[in-house]
Amino acid sequence: MPNFDLQIYAVLAQIPQGKVTTYGDVAKMAGYPRHARHVGKLLGTLPKDSRLPWFRVVNAKGMISLTGSRFTRQRELLLDDGVEVKENGAISMRRYRWDGEPA
């Protein structure tokens, strides 16, 4: 298991409930800037029953990057999390962006 994978998981686990962050930021906070795409690929491999808050990660535009049923799932989870998500998957980063501070 590559070290950066573990770092990414570590960062992921710290995202507070009700907040979101971006692929790029997760990569940066994990100590591997410019690896945003890898973060997404890694999240895609997470087991369905994973306890990690993968759904709190969206793209730099503040949009859910998934499609179809996956999109719906992430949106539901975020709504349950207390995050306002428009029908098109848009989120107000100004309000929900995680600054990196622990919960």
Partner DNA sequence: TTTCTGACAAGAG
Partner DNA sequence: ACTCTTGCCAGAA
Residues near DNA, by CB under 7 A: 2, 22-25, 34-41, 43-44, 46, 54-55, 57, 59-61, 65-66, 70, 74
Residues 24 and 34: their CA atoms lie apart, in Å, by 7
Residue 16 or 40: the one with the smaller Cβ distance to DNA is: 40
CB nearer to DNA: pick between 16 and 63: 63
56 in Cβ contact with 64 (< 8 Å):
no
Containing 57, the helix (H) or strand (E) segment is: strand 57-58
Nearer to DNA, 88 or 102 (CB): 88
Residue 61 Cβ, how far from DNA at the closest point, in Å? 7
Give me the least distance between CB of 82 and DNA, in Å please: 19
Query: Most distant CA pair in the chain: distance in Å?
Result: 37
Cα–Cα dist 44/33, whole Å:
19
Closest approach, Cβ 6 to DNA, in A, equals 12
